[in-house]
Structure 1
């Protein structure tokens, strides 16, 4: 749990809760300890998290549920209901591996950071799951229809995607009406696939992505 964050929910002070479990095995995943659903050192339960949030009412604006992949937790819906009842905004970081798990949450969400890994046809390269991707992209239409504020973000590792592939993802998102897009380099100091290497993104590739995509979005961020 991050007791205080200024970056996990745009323009709001938030507490961020990292939930365990994920159906994917993304090569560049840096939250390795959150993939399995088991007790980890320093972990807290929901009651402890709730006690912390009760003490922060009036000091924090929002609670962000991150992961892992938080939507696979059956207890996420009642948790969102509780935090909303306490007066907090609810944020969610998710890759939406299953759209049916996102839909019941929508009435209790104020903002979503939607992880788009690649074009749907390239998801297996990133996630090692051949069924991944379709629900993630379908979530864009669902969030728009529900009028839930959201941004799309892509984690970029040069060994997995070229600048041209990242540009195509951004162009497809813009065609779908996405207004905010963020690109973030993969954290190479700790990755699920240690053989992936630490190939750095070149300045030329970064510039190509930014200059091509910036006119297509209200906001385009390159986050370090």
Structure 2
């Protein structure tokens, strides 16, 4: 698997676990507010971390780290993902996968074969605005929904999450997402933050007060609703 970034310690990326994070490159979406635009648009410009180097660190940290987060980009695009996470599991680590959910067949296979232990799936927006928000004109939202329903069935521990921008997400969209994800276990609202690698810098985030109002709309429909990315 081609890895372009390696964060050797994180207390945030895997809820309740001490972990490290690996960043793959390339994505089938072009979300304009994406903060990893360098990995999404031009992964070939980014350095590649040798697999031997990654596993040398993982072997050394057995018993210190609980898990490994595999993110991107979009990891399910890499044909070597299954072999790679199998090798991580063989060291005794928990594996968390971050995905946009557009390849439900890959997600299902990895979960059913017990190759991953936790899934964080991005919900870009309400279905009616999905293509616009994902930066893809022709998008099959039913593929996204297939992943949503699979995770909601409870076959693996999971969370849904949405990065909120004033320009793309308002009360109407939040209400539609709440209806869509009704019955889900865990949903996080992540506030948009500017970064050096964002694809389109014209976006802006919300104040905590507005995010709290959005949470109130969602609570009662979803078991746990929380805010991330706001001090």
TM-score of the two chains, using structure 1 as the length reference: 0.90
Query: What RMSD, in angstroms, separates the aligned Cα atoms of the two structures?
Result: 1.7
Deviations 1:52-84 (CA, angstroms, capped at 9, x unpaired): 111110001111100010110111100111111
Answer yes or no: is 1:216 the counterpart of 2:221: yes
User: SS of the counterpart of 2:179?
Assistant: helix
Q: Does structure 2 conserve the Cα–Cα contact (< 8 Å) formed by 1:63 and 1:91?
A: yes
- Cα distance between partner residues in 2 of 1:49 and 1:133: 35
Q: Deviations over 1:173-216 (max 9, x none)?
A: 01xx211100001122342013x243x41455323212222233
Contact 1:120 1:132 in 2 (8 A): no
Q: Which residue of 1 aligns with 2:3?
A: none
Structure 1 residues 132 and 6, CA gap change in structure 2 (3 angstroms): farther
1:126 is paired with a residue whose SS is helix
Alignment of 1:78-157 (within 5 A): 78-106=83-111, 107=113, 108-129=115-136, 130-145=138-153, 147-157=155-165
Which residue, out of 56, 67, 87, partners 2:61? 56
Contact 2:174 2:218 in 1 (8 A): no
Q: Alignment partner of 2:107: what SS?
A: helix
Unaligned runs of 5+ residues in structure 2 are 1-5
Structure 1, unmatched stretches of 5+, are: none
Does residue 179 in structure 1 map to residue 185 in structure 2? yes
CA distance in 1, matches of 2:223, 2:144: 21
Query: Residue 69 of structure 2 aligns to a residue in which SS?
Result: strand
Partner of 1:60, secondary structure, is: coil
Q: Where does structure 1 differ by over 3 angstroms across 4 or more consecutive aligned residues?
A: none
Q: How far off its partner does 1:39 sit?
A: 4.7
Q: Structure 2 length as normaliser, TM-score?
A: 0.88
Q: Is the Cα contact below 8 Å between 2:95 and 2:118 reproduced in 1?
A: yes
1:158 aligns to 2:166 (yes or no)? yes
In 2, are the aligned partners of 1:184 and 1:223 still within 8 Å (CA)?
yes
CA separation of 1:197/1:182 partners in 2, compared to 1, >3 Å: closer, same or farther?
closer
Q: In terms of mean alpha carbon deviation, does 91-100 or 22-31 score higher?
A: 91-100
- Quick check: 1:14–1:64 contact (8 Å CA) kept in 2? yes
Match of 2:175? 167
> 1:7 deviation in Å?
1.1
How many residue pairs are counted as aligned between the two chains? Answer: 219
